[in-house]
Amino acid sequence: MSVRPATATATPSAPSAPSAPSALRTPSAPSALRAPAPAADGACRPGPLAVLGRDVTVPLVTGGEIGYAALDYAASAPALQRVWDDVAAYAPYYGSVHRGAGYLSQLSTDLFESSRAAVRTFLDCREDDQLLFTRSTTDSLNLLASALPAGCRVFVFETEHHASLLPWRGAELTVLDAPRTPDGAVRALERALADRDPHGPALVCVTGASNVTGELWPVRELAAAAHAHGARIVLDAAQLAPHHPVSLRETGADWVALSGHKLYAPFGSGVLAGRADWLRAAEPYLAGGGASRTVARRAEGGGAGGLDVEWHTTEARHEAGSPNVIGAYAIASACRALTEAGFPGLVAREQRLLAEVRAGLADIPQVRVLSLFGDDAPRVGVLSFTVDGWNSSHVAAALSAEYGIGVRDGLFCAHPLVRTLLGAGRGEAGECGAPEPAPGGSAPLNAVRVSFGAGTPDEHIGRFLAAVRELIRDGARLRYRTEGGRCVPDRG
């Protein structure tokens, strides 16, 4: 099992409120400073959580308007209404963090650090783990890459998102072939690690849930294999954390990275949490205020001088500059909201929606669902497919323009994986979003991705399946053309 079991006993409790500021303990205060709502019964069948945009209507090229069906959660999930309300309540009290003596600065500092504590609880961090606020999963993994010890070897599967594939260019990188079973992934990693120098540092980077297929990876087993061969492992939980509880303790991962914008929290913040030793030993990710404890002018002969700097060893070492307190608070608010809503119930509801999507697409002969581990492999609410006789960009464009349904098409920033799933050669070109081949060329490599989560109404799933069936049966109502690398309705 790759993640913590979705049971009510595994649901973490909300953090205690900051004690210093008292004026915000009023009806208008941010919810982090109020008593948490009682947790929902995980055995009940919850409806969708309230999200921003649920009442937005969009125009159809065929005339009129329709409520927008947001089915691209894997790119950016809509913000929870709870998160937006919490941020709005805090906004008048916004102040500088870790720097000011004023009341609002002290309040913002308390809120920033209590947000760190809330996310630590949500991820079930170990006592000595550090939790850094970053900009995104990509930023988190680049930060970890900058902290690798000299001579570190990095192992990744070709199935990773580019955020997990590309940051390790300064290290000796081993890219493993796409496995076809979870057990095959563990065996491939064990073979690769056994062939390395056992005395040097090594890091394995693996996703928890694929951003292309939604399939769950055997994180706990991969972590055990890494540790058995003296390596460490970082979990890319960008697609996992919004759909399933994640526990650093239970997975055995050394680090976990995630993005707020996929966890129903806007404002450009991310998280890197895990072991502190490599982070403390590394040069700061960014040099500047906040990362430094003391700075002094160094006197040298001839009048020239440099600077002597003592860097922090806490999270501040890699959080230079003014912290994104609103981004951090938004992530913490989302973590509390998912916990208080009853995460096990949310997981069960999403699995019901996923079963409906899989069954509906299986009934359409022209549709081919992409999978590494097979049709029965456990997944989160992310699924990609192709349609015989259709360019995927054409399908996505028609779903948007004619039905008001937002999905994703392209290679999903996972080019090697999509090439493998589509049976293309490793060197075969594929451009994200290119709807038509070049003159004389073959059809571009791309697929359609539908993704959903805690805020998705049942009706959106039914609309999506009906639209795909109708498109394939009757064809698009309009002609489409290429414009700026995208497939758009031809209004000429």
Catalytic residue numbers, as ranges: 413
> Could you tell me the two tokens for 448?
């359609």
CA of residue 270 relative to chain centroid, distance: 9
Q: Residue 413 carries which side chain, given as an amino acid letter?
A: C
Which residue in this structure is represented by tokens 């509390």? 336
3-state SS class at 59:
strand
Q: Which helix (H) or strand (E) holds 111?
A: helix 103-122
- DSSP state string for 400-467: HHHH-EE-EEE-TT-HHHHHHHTT--TT----TT--SPPTT-PPPP-EEEEE--TT--HHHHHHHHHH
Q: Residue 148 carries which side chain, given as an amino acid letter?
A: L
CA atoms of 393 and 404, how far apart (whole Å): 15
3-state SS class at 140:
helix
Counting beta carbons within 10 angstroms of the beta carbon of residue 369, is it exposed (0 to 12), middle (13 to 18) or buried (19 or more)? middle
Beta strands per DSSP E along 341-423: 367-369, 382-387, 405-406, 408-410
> Could you tell me the two tokens for 80?
């929870």
Which residue in this structure is represented by tokens 């699924």? 383
Strand 382-387, strand 367-369: pairing:
antiparallel
Counting beta carbons within 10 angstroms of the beta carbon of residue 38, is it exposed (0 to 12), middle (13 to 18) or buried (19 or more)? exposed
Exposure string for 168-202, b = 16+ CB within 10 A, e = fewer: beebeebebebbeebeebbebbbebbeebeeeebb
Q: Which helix (H) or strand (E) holds 270?
A: strand 270-274
CA atoms of 129 and 255, how far apart (whole Å): 9
> Could you tell me the two tokens for 351?
């699995």
CA atoms of 432 and 352, how far apart (whole Å): 30
